[in-house]
């Protein structure tokens, strides 16, 4: 079923392209559908194995980039001055 594997790898490439573009443009990747494993019963053909390995490496690199960006943002947020809590207005009404 080379066609099914071709389709599965193409979908993976599309997802990686969308995630990479979202990161580059500073957008949330919410437009990217959640991952679902391909329903391909046959083993991946040898002719597509290198393409699959390249996609795994690309996914790992993107994951590292996202992790680095998250840590950069977290670090920036920690450096921001803390805002004091706004005083709460307290009321007590009693009737006798």
pLDDT per position as a tens digit, 50-89: 999 999 999 999 999 889 988 999 999 988 888 777 777 7
Give the domain extent around 54.
Answer: 46-72
Percent of the chain clearing pLDDT 70 (strictly above): 95
Domain presence at residue 27 = no
Domain presence at residue 9 = no
Whose structure tokens read 């993107």?
A: 62
Domain presence at residue 54 = yes
pLDDT at 87: 78
Helical (H) or strand (E) element with 53: helix 46-79
Domain presence at residue 80 = no
> Which positions ≥6 away from 70 have C-beta within 8 Å?
none
Domain presence at residue 20 = no
Percent of the chain clearing pLDDT 90 (strictly above): 35
Domain count, the chain: 1
Mean pLDDT rounded to a whole number for the chain: 86
Backbone angles phi, psi at 57, to 5 degrees: -65, -40
pLDDT at 29: 66
């Amino acid at each position: 079923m080379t066609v099914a594997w071709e389709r599965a790898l193409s979908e993976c490439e599309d997802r990686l392209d969308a995630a990479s573009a979202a990161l580059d443009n500073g957008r949330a990747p919410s437009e990217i559908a959640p991952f679902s494993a391909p329903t391909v019963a046959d083993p991946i053909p040898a002719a597509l194995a290198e393409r699959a390995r390249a996609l795994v490496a690309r996914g790992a690199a993107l994951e590292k980039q996202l992790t680095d960006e998250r840590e950069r943002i977290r670090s920036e947020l920690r450096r921001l001055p803390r805002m004091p809590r706004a005083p709460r207005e307290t009321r007590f009404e009693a009737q006798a």
